[in-house]
Structure 1
């Protein structure tokens, strides 16, 4: 095969260019300490490196989520610690206020302090994280989960639990629902117990009872509303005791009168409407007792006022709003806060453990990346030396060949 001079020059120029590019690439790899990352250099290695980098990106996302979970749980723990202290203080004040030796002025002072503590507790229940999301709203994180209304504090959040992905198949809870901490999903919150205590603390300073007795006569004035409410109570007289149920509304106690008179033979107690007060006048030849009163229309406070034969009015509460019941509910609220703080601590410990797992995986991914990216310096230097020798030899051969002319071959 005959090679023309232009083709010979072109082939040698291309060969020298390829060698020069290879030398430049090797020098670049040696200076950076990294292998050529282009897929054309090593398709298999590039594919494995791409998979490793995807894993590293996923681990970075998981790590961010774990930090987010940990931050929210830490803030929830701080809030619950303060809420526990506030609730414990309210309970202690309630125990003091229910003492029979407590003076009226002291009870009023306690009521003022408990009112302020209630506001502090409401603020804690509506606490937010650094991004402005409610800590105890469930999935409802934008608005305040606990809202003050005409009937007290109500829960507007839900029972959801925010979770963030921290591995390919595992997610962590980033908080707990306000319904679990302060109550509310079933309609009753810790604030209801505090309100009942404040209601019981009012008036003349004496704590109402769920049972009242009188001899001969008794004036009963139920706490009535415009809308009819369902009432139940236990009525005891000289002849016996019965459980009664009736409907009553403001200005209408005929249902109560009929229910009581229908059981006169069993109780010995009769009733009639008092025209002056609109209440009931009970009479019997002996002792009369009323207990266990409940009314669907009365959310808190006394369900009725009873004036016995001595003329001293007495407030009657439902059984769940008596002195012992209110103290028990306040204690239960404190216990719940302690339990939920323990739960937050367990979730936080789980987040810390998961963070360690992610850190370990990151180390493994870094090692895998190093194995794929880091250059074998000895091998690269050997290849560079071989390329330099090859370039020099090619250049020398090219120079010698191009120096000869036709006359040199004819000699």
Structure 2
């Protein structure tokens, strides 16, 4: 079979092209350090490698989310620590305020201080992350979750959700605690109450402590003249009545402003225990006893669980000066238990944050371990054997050079050279 000069040239050019492609492939492998430089090199291995690289990218996303969760939880822990410190100061102030030796100016000084601490609490509840998201607003991270209304009452504008981030294929990690649960649902003996309402109650009690009493006492035989001041909403009323015969806890249902007859009837029903009788005289409630000794204390009113700056329910005497009795909830002594309850709930919320932070740290270690293993597998599949590749490259370059020299010599030979 004869081979024409043109066919020989075409074959050599094709071979040179193949050598160039092989050399370029090895050079790319050396420069990148990767075995597979494009999917066409090894299609099956390339598909597997692509899937593994996607998993690496996904793991990186999980790791960023865990880092963000840790940052938010750490900020929440620091914020709640500051709230806890403020509640400790509140507890110290309410204990101090219950000292009988404190004068009205002393109580005013405490009230001013507590008012400043209250404003600090509102600011802490509205804490934002470095990227401007509300820390305690639930899913509503863009708005200010705690806002004071025209009446001075602090309202929660967030929702009941828990802000979370994906920490794995099957785990979402909470990044804080819900502000509605932390600040608006303090567990007390009177039920769930707002932290801010509890603090406002303390401030109100400080405002009225010097001018209102929690006990009314009469020692004269002419008795005690009282007026019940309330709104038109029927409420159950209870108090402890003490007289020459002893004491009795008396409950009167559906009391409204000026409803003295019902109270008198309830008192007369227990006269055998107290030695006190009640009657209505000129629109007032009159209490009398055989010896003149009468004591009215522990006033409790249905629905009145917190102190108010202007108490809606009071009992006033008809003497001079007028003495005003307020429900137990209005007294300074009633504030201590609520302040303590609030501090305990904040401590529990901080414990919850700590547990979630620990969970995030554990997940961080799990993801780091998975990432190391996966990256090792990716490197094992994608990394080129540089010693082998360089050896092959050198061999190809030598082959290319030899082929060029041979082709050059053969290409210069003509028919006349064979006829000599």
What TM bracket, shorter-length normalisation? 0.7 to 0.9
Cα distance in 2 between the residues matched to 1:399 and 1:23: 21
Q: Please tell me whether the aligned partners of residues 272 and 281 of structure 1 are also in contact (alpha carbons under 8 angstroms).
A: yes
Identify unmatched segments of 5+ residues in structure 1: none
Alignment match, 2:286: 282
Q: Please tell me whether the aligned partners of residues 138 and 157 of structure 1 are also in contact (alpha carbons under 8 angstroms).
A: yes
Alignment match, 1:379: 388
Instruction: Check if 1:217 corresponds to 2:220.
Output: no
Aligned residue pairs total 397
Q: Please tell me whether the aligned partners of residues 214 and 308 of structure 1 are also in contact (alpha carbons under 8 angstroms).
A: no
Cα distance in 2 between the residues matched to 1:391 and 1:151: 89
Give how far 1:285 is off: 3.9
Instruction: Check if 1:229 corresponds to 2:250.
Output: no
Cα distance in 2 between the residues matched to 1:131 and 1:322: 44
Q: State the TM-score, normalizing by the size of structure 2.
A: 0.84
Moved more, 29-38 or 166-175: 29-38
Instruction: Check if 1:198 corresponds to 2:207.
Output: no
Instruction: Check if 1:169 corresponds to 2:202.
Output: no
Give how far 1:163 is off: 0.9
Cα distance in 2 between the residues matched to 1:31 and 1:21: 15
Alignment match, 1:141: 141
Give how far 1:342 is off: 2.4
Cα distance in 1 between the residues matched to 2:212 and 2:377: 73
Alignment match, 1:119: 119
Cα distance in 2 between the residues matched to 1:342 and 1:115: 27
Cα distance in 1 between the residues matched to 2:413 and 2:297: 133
CA RMSD of aligned residues (A): 2.9
Provide closer, same or farther for how the CA distance between residues 315 and 212 of structure 1 changes in structure 2, counting only shifts above 3 A: same
Q: Deviations over 1:209-247 (max 9, x none)?
A: 2x54546223123243xxx31211136487965421115
Q: State the TM-score, normalizing by the size of structure 1.
A: 0.85
Q: Deviations over 1:103-136 (max 9, x none)?
A: 2221111111111111111111111111222211
Provide closer, same or farther for how the CA distance between residues 129 and 352 of structure 1 changes in structure 2, counting only shifts above 3 A: same
Pick from 323, 336, 360 the counterpart of residue 313 of structure 1. 323
Alignment match, 2:274: none
Matches within 5 A, 1:337-356: 337-356=346-365
Cα distance in 2 between the residues matched to 1:399 and 1:348: 74
Pick from 251, 258, 276 the counterpart of residue 243 of structure 1. 251
Q: Please tell me whether the aligned partners of residues 163 and 172 of structure 1 are also in contact (alpha carbons under 8 angstroms).
A: yes
Give how far 1:169 is off: 1.1
Cα distance in 1 between the residues matched to 2:395 and 2:281: 118
Instruction: Check if 1:80 corresponds to 2:64.
Output: no
Q: Deviations over 1:85-120 (max 9, x none)?
A: 211112111111111111222111111111111111
Moved more, 368-377 or 108-117: 368-377
